Amino acid sequence: MKQFFKEIFPVTQTSITDIEEKIEFVDLNKGTVFIEKDKINKKEYLLFSGICKSFLFNADGDEVTLSFYSGNAVLTPHTIRTQHNKSLLYFKTLTPCRLGLIDAENFIALMYTHEDIKNFANQILKNELMTKLEKEIGLLSLSAADRLKNFRVKHTNFENLIPHTDIASYLGITSISISRLRKALIHK
C-alpha cells in the first residue's frame, strides 16, 4: 500500500494504516461494468492492478472511451464523478483488476484529520484535470497519427492488452482508421 501512495503522493504510515482500516478489496474479471451511469455510487476507487476505462454511450449506442486507468491509479474522484451521489459515467474493466473501495464520506473524514491525505486528494484532482486537458488539446490540435503516437508513449503496451475499438474511441477515430494508422506507423 505504501508503494501505491508513494507513486502518486506520499502519505505517512499512520495515514496508510487509517486508510487500510476503511478499504475493501475486490477482484474483478475482465469486462465487468463496476460503476453505472445514473446509479447511486458513494465510493472512492483505488486501482492496484489491471486496466479499466471510463466511458459513455453515444447516440448510436456505441461505447465512447473517456479515460484509461492502469495499476496504481485513483479513478476519477467521487466529487467530480457523481452528482447527488449518482454516477455521471460508466467504468469497466478491460483486464482483470484489483480495486480498493473506500466510502467517499469516510475518505473525506480522513482528509479533515490527515493533512497528507488531503494533499494526496488534491494531487489526484490536479492529475485528473491535467489528463482531461491534455486529451482535449490533443483532440483539437493533433492529427490522428500524432494522437496515436502520444497514446503509445503514455500507455505503453496497451495496444497488446485491450481492444483496439476502445483505443479508437478514446482517440476520436474509427476502428478502421486505427487499423490503417497502425499499419502506416509500422512502415515508417
Q: Measuring CA to CA, how many Å separate 20 from each of 25, 46, 125, 170?
A: 10, 12, 21, 33
pLDDT at 10: 86
Mean of pLDDT over the chain: 94
Interatomic CA distance for residues 59 and 38, integer angstroms: 17
Amino acid residing at 171: L
Give residue-wise pLDDT tens across range 92-112.
999 999 999 999 999 999 999
Q: Is the CA virtual torsion 158, 101, 26, 20 positive or negative?
A: positive
Place of cell 464523478: 81
Q: Is the pLDDT of residue 64 over 80?
A: yes
Instruction: Give the pLDDT mean for 8-37.
Output: 95
* CA-CA-CA-CA dihedral for 15, 154, 163, 171, to nearest 10: 120
pLDDT at 182: 86
Instruction: Give the pLDDT mean for 136-153.
Output: 93
- Looking at residue 142, what DSSP letter applies? S
**Which H or E run includes 27?**
strand 24-28
The HSE-up count of residue 64 (CA atoms within 13 Å, CB side) is 9
**Where are the chain's structural domains?**
2-141, 142-188
Bridge pairing between strands 97-103 and 90-93: unpaired
- 9 — pLDDT class (breaks 50, 70, 90): confident
Q: Return the CATH number of the domain spanning residue range 2-141.
A: 2.60.120.10
Instruction: Give the pLDDT mean for 9-38.
Output: 95
Interatomic CA distance for residues 186 and 152, integer angstroms: 13
Q: Measuring CA to CA, how many Å separate 51 from each of 98, 157, 173?
A: 9, 11, 21
**Which H or E run includes 69?**
strand 63-70
- 130 — pLDDT class (breaks 50, 70, 90): very high
- 7 — pLDDT class (breaks 50, 70, 90): confident
